[in-house]
C-alpha cells in the first residue's frame, strides 16, 4: 500500500513537470505569434484531430473548457485568419472547423520551435497511452486517441481501413489523426 502511494506520488510529480513544461513552451510560442495560450492549443488540436472531432464541442471536451469560452476564442482566431468554419456534412445543426493556410503555418512554426527530438528515447508511447487510458476511464472522459489503434478501426481485406462505428472508409491520413469517439482496445 505504501509503495502504491509512493509510486502515485512519483507519477504525479513527473506528469506535473511534463504538463507545466509543455504549457510553458506553448505559451512562449503564443507570445511570439501574438495570440493567447488557449488560441494556440485550439490550433494545435485542429492540426491533429479528425473529421468527427473538429467541432466546438470536440475542442471544448478536449481542452476541458466551457463551450462559451471556446466560442470566444474561436471568434478571435477566425478574425485573425487562422481558422475557417464550414457546415457539418454529418450534422446540419453544427459546423466543422478547419485550419487555414495561415493557421497551418502558425502550428508548423510552433512545432519546429518547441517539440523536443525524442528519436533516441525508445518506445515511450505505450506507457503514455496506459496512463491516459486509466486517467480518462476513471474520470469518464472521451478517448481522443489516435485512430489507428482504436477498437473500432478495421483493416479491410482488400486494403484500406474502415471505421466500425460510422462504417465510413478511412484514409492513411485519417488513421494518423485523433478522434473524440476513440475507444481503447
**Does residue 95 interact with ligand SF4 by CB under 6 A?**
no
Closest distance between ligand SF4 and the C-beta of residue 182, in Å?
A: 4
Chain-centroid distance, C-alpha 125: 15
Q: Does 62 bind ligand SF4 (CB under 6 A)?
A: no
Provide the minimum distance between the beta carbon of 133 and ligand SF4 in the complex, in angstroms, as a whole number: 14
Based on the shown chain and the rule CB under 6 A, indicate whether residue 49 belongs to the binding site for ligand SF4: no
The rounded distance, in Å, linking the Cα atoms of 169 and 158 is 12
Q: If we measure between CA atoms, which residue out of 25, 31, 30 comes closest to residue 43?
A: 30
Task: Name the phi and psi angles at 99, rounded to 5.
Answer: -75, 140
Give the C-alpha separation, 67 to 150, whole Å.
26
User: Per CB under 6 A, does 152 bind ligand SF4?
Assistant: yes
With CB under 6 A as the contact rule, the residue among 88, 165, 172, 176 that binds ligand SF4 is: 165
Rounded-to-integer distance, Cα 168 and Cα 53, Å = 15
Q: Is 45 in the site for ligand SF4 (CB under 6 A)?
A: no
Closest approach of ligand SF4 to the CB of residue 173, in Å: 12
Q: Which of 34, 79, 85, 29 is nearest to 59 (CA)?
A: 85
| Interface with ligand SF4: number of residues (CB under 6 A) | 11
| Interaction site with ligand SF4 (CB under 6 A) | 50, 52, 147, 150, 152-153, 163, 165, 179, 181-182
Amino acid at each position: 500500500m505504501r509503495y502504491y502511494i509512493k509510486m502515485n506520488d512519483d507519477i504525479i510529480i513527473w506528469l506535473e513537470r511534463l504538463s507545466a513544461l509543455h504549457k510553458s513552451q506553448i505559451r512562449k510560442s503564443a507570445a511570439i505569434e501574438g495570440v493567447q495560450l488557449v488560441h494556440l492549443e485550439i490550433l494545435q488540436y485542429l492540426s491533429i484531430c479528425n473529421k468527427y472531432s473538429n467541432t466546438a464541442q470536440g475542442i471544448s471536451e478536449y481542452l476541458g473548457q466551457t463551450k462559451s469560452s471556446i466560442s470566444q476564442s474561436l471568434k478571435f482566431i477566425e478574425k485573425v485568419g487562422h481558422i475557417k468554419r464550414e457546415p457539418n456534412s454529418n450534422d446540419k445543426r453544427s459546423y466543422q472547423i478547419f485550419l487555414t493556410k495561415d493557421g497551418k503555418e502558425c502550428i508548423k512554426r510552433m512545432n519546429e520551435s518547441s517539440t523536443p527530438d525524442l528519436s533516441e528515447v525508445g518506445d515511450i508511447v505505450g506507457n503514455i497511452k496506459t496512463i491516459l487510458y486509466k486517467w480518462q476511464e476513471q474520470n469518464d472522459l472521451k478517448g481522443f486517441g489516435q485512430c489507428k489503434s482504436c477498437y473500432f478501426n478495421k483493416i479491410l481485406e482488400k486494403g484500406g481501413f474502415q471505421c466500425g462505428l460510422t462504417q465510413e472508409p478511412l484514409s492513411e491520413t485519417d488513421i494518423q489523426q485523433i478522434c473524440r469517439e476513440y475507444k481503447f482496445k
